[in-house]
Structure 1
Amino acid sequence: MEIQYPEFSLLFILFSIFVLATFDQLYYYWYYFRRLAFYKDSAKESLQEGVSIIICAKNEYYNLEKNLPLILGQKFQNFEVIVVNDASDDESEELLKNFERENEHLKVVTIHQNLNFFSGKKFPLSIGIKSAKYDVLLLTDADCSPASDEWLQNMTSGMNNGTDIVLGYAPHQRVKGFLNKIIRYETLHVAMQYLSFSLAGLTYMGVGRNLAYRKSLFFQAKGFMSHYKVSSGDDDLFINSVATKSNTRIEINPKTYCFSKPKTSFKSWFIQKRRHLSAGKFYKPKFKTILGKYAFSQLLFYSLLIPLLIANFNLIIVLSLFVLRLFSQLFIYKKCMKVLNEKGLLLAIPVMEVFMLILQMTLGLSNVLSKPNKWK
């Protein structure tokens, strides 16, 4: 009796890969991202220690004029605000002197010459951390505005019980236009990843616009020395190197948000994204594997969907898997958007996902051809 083997055509192989990619995507949505989607915050005790807020600023006169009063006006007994003026050539120095005379919480550290040998934010940030009076540090940027006067209190609450790192959320302000939707979608998507993975005990990054950690942890890790040659990574590479399952928590109370001013031109945003992407290759291998597998299965899903539909191969199964993933994606995104208080993005998510996939490949190619190395 002759044994008949199944015919493994090219379309069958592509279909099999498509099925595996789809289930891998579903695994990420329902195993990882659902942690943020169904996250319930718990009550935490207020921190009894002092806190040092650190802001690095280079030519940020107008942002400092607008946002510094909001930071200095936080409801907290024992805190200082350190602004590192990194060789600004606008009127920032005079503005900061005026603020410093009027507010006892403010401490200004001025770098008069361009001594930033590391071509990034790490040098001025290190100066600010060394100048800090307190062990608990809260970082933000000059163009960020806290959502409330309880930002400081809530971002640092709960750091009493062995917590060394608090990851916050830093959304972008909502304005009209396609670019703003893309920026807010990308911010939401990144937040879904780093917050969900952190809840799973796999903290791989934080966002320097809204991030707290201990000064003692910084010095224990020898600061940024392990990646000082990388222009970016003052937030994600540092957190990638020091975070553990037990020393990190997230804080997503809407009172703790720090809103950033979004870029208004695609070119400036593209340059910013190139700089951020360049740090990813220095992540720990396990994080590169987890993040890379997610991005690769995402790419395979869309790359194989179109040829399978055109070839009309197992059409019912292919469409069923597409609908299953789409439903899972929109359901998890809707829940995460509710948790993070984001609006106006849900229906455009599939389109923006494809757009960002293409953009990520373009960014990767650009970084291969030339190195992004400027902070300001």
Structure 2
Amino acid sequence: MQIIDTVLSYCGWQGVTLAAVLLLSLGIQLYYYLFVYGRIPGYKNSRRRPVLDREPPISVVIPMFSEDYAFIEERLSLILAQSYPDFEVVIVYVGQDTDFYDELRRLGTSFPRIMTTKILLDPRFPISRKMALNVGIKSAHYEHMVFTSTDAVPRSDRWLSLMAKGFLTGDIVIGYCGMERGRGFANYFMRTWRMMHAADWLARAIRRRPYKGILHNFGFTKKIYFGANGFNHLNMNIGEDDLFMQQVMTRDNVSVVLSPRATLSEKVWGGVGWWMSQLRYYGSAFRFYPGAVKRFIRLELLSRLLFWVSAVVALVLMPLEYKLAAAALIVVRYVVVALEVRRIARRLGEGGMVRGYFLYDLLSPFYAVVLGLVLRRKDERVWR
């Protein structure tokens, strides 16, 4: 009470209120980074109760919505080169190019692991990714399936074996996919945004409160899929990695695979404009998330925004002693955050994250506010 009276007499009620906001927001931030995200680096999936006694054969299902020769010539070979004895690659081609599909089929004669199927594209009846996945699931020969995209490539030849090992302890497997590393701050921002937002759903899954995976690197069994009568939210072109997963995920059936060797990289096709378009498209599902998940995500962003705003106000307007205390709190928070981000990045196989993190940490809450405003407008690409 004496400290409060001293601050009140020295700085007024505005100073006390500012100090309360600063300390409360700092406490919330430290809780997230130390006790929520901080569980990611040391997580061991092997501690879960096994449901299988050996790694199962795997069907890798990949939808293809264009005549992507770059995928065939460059990225597909990295999937076929996976160090795993028993798997197939099911490619679902959605298009009209008969010559391209014939080439895919000829590829299957040279590489018996490849199985191709086709959905004829009719402009009057657009085909969603969920519809393509449904065909791929029904075409797959194996019970256990892993899903990825033509835009993602494994970072090692152990990716599939680690994802398959995840099925030993769960009927649903979720892994991580980062963004392709490039030059410039825009690329760094996209990579860091992907990693730290993945930290939200990875941390929740580790705490047995899962709510999503990532469409480039997740899997489940046919029993899970057909037991739920297939994908939900059929009026939307999105939702297979979150809205559907929220329907089938439980505390005990989700296996989290975290390793640099189990990480994929998604190809970057543009700059910040392309990235915002992607976030707007896939972020349209957020309105349907459970309230607890929304609060969990928003609380971290809100507390970070309040911390920075109150810290800046203290540094600009308050007396010298107050400024020094605020500066000390900024240093303490940043040291904790930087150390935890470094540990998370190492576990997920991401490099060069800490160097520019201070700027990302400062700007990303404001970017999230802009994204929230953008998401208020209906994205016509989402709806069928």
Q: Does the pair score TM above 0.5?
A: yes
For structure 2, which runs of at least 5 residues remain unmatched after alignment?
none
**Residue 126 in structure 1 maps to residue 126 in structure 2:** no
Match of 1:178 among 178, 182, 185: 185
1:365 aligns with 2:373: yes
SS in 2 for 1:157: helix
**Please, which runs of 5 or more residues in structure 1 have no aligned partner?**
none
Change in 2 beyond 3 A, CA 1:46/1:157: farther
Residues 66 and 207 (structure 1 numbering): CA distance in 2 closer, same or farther, change over 3 Å?
same
Instruction: Note if contact 1:46-1:157 (Cα within 8 Å) is conserved in structure 2.
Output: no
AA of the residue aligned to 1:131: S
State the Cα distance separating 1:23 from its structure 2 match: 0.7
Whole-angstrom CA distance in 2 between matches of 1:172 and 1:149: 18
What whole-Å deviation, never above 9, does each CA across 1:137-187 have from its counterpart, x for those lacking one?
A: 1011112222233322221114234x1112112122222222221121112
Of 33, 47, 54, the match for 2:37: 33
Q: Partners of 2:97 and 2:135 in 1: how far apart?
A: 19
Aligned equivalent of 2:17: 13
Does structure 2 conserve the Cα–Cα contact (< 8 Å) formed by 1:46 and 1:153?
no
Task: Say if 1:188 and 1:88 are closer, same or farther in 2 by CA, change over 3 A.
Answer: farther
The answer to whether the 8 Å contact 1:54/1:129 transfers is yes
Greater Cα shift, 228-237 or 44-53? 44-53
Select which of 299, 312, 319 maps to 1:293. Answer: 299
Asked whether 1:217 is paired with 2:221, we answer no
% identical aligned pairs? 27
Q: 1:48 Cα deviation (Å)? A: 4.1
- Measured after TM superposition, the shift of residue 22 of structure 1 is 1.3
Contact residue 260 and residue 346 of structure 2 kept, 8 A: no
Q: Is the contact made by 1:83 and 1:109 (CA closer than 8 Å) also made in structure 2? A: yes
174, 190, 204: which is aligned to 1:197? 204
- Counterpart of 2:41, as a letter, is A
Aligned counterparts of 1:339 and 1:49: Cα–Cα separation in 2:
25
User: What residue number does 2:79 align with?
Assistant: 71
Aligned to 2:27: 23
How far apart in 2 are the matches of 1:357 and 1:325?
Answer: 16
Q: Give the letter aligned to residue 274 of structure 1.
A: R
TM-superposed deviation, 1:90 = 9.4
3-state SS in 1 of match to 2:40: helix
1:206 equivalent to 2:210? Answer no
Whole-angstrom distance in 2 between the partners of 1:193 and 1:88: 39
2:161, 2:129 → 1: CA distance? Answer: 26
CA distance in structure 1 between the aligned counterparts of 2:287 and 2:98, rounded to whole angstroms: 35
Q: Is the 8 A contact 2:211 2:249 kept in 1?
A: yes
- Looking at structure 2, the residues matched to 18 and 89 of structure 1 have their Cα atoms a distance apart, in angstroms, of 60
1:81 partner SS: strand
Residue type of the partner of 2:369?
A: M
Q: CA, structure 1 residues 334+243, in 2 after alignment: closer, same or farther (shift >3 Å)?
A: same
- Is 1:147 aligned with 2:152? no
TM-score by length of 1: 0.89
SS at match of 1:333: helix
SS of residue in 2 equivalent to 1:160 = coil
Matching residue of 1:283: 289
**2 CA distance for matches of 1:304 and 1:88?**
57
Quote the residue 1:159 is aligned against. 167
SS at match of 1:369: coil
Question: In structure 2, how many angstroms separate the alpha carbons of the residues matched to 1:248 and 1:339?
Answer: 19
Q: Do structure 1's residue 260 and structure 2's residue 262 form an aligned pair?
A: no
RMSD, aligned CA: 2.7
Change (3 A) 1:184 1:372: farther
Aligned residue number for residue 348 of structure 2: 340
Deviation at 1:304, TM superposition (A): 2.2
Match of 1:235 among 226, 241, 245: 241
Worse-superposed segment, 53-62 or 95-104: 95-104
Secondary structure of 2:211's counterpart equals coil
2:326 maps to 1:352: no
How many residue pairs align between the two structures?
370
Over residues 325-347 of structure 1, what are the superposed CA-to-partner deviations in whole Å (9 max), with x where a residue is unaligned? 11110110111122222221202
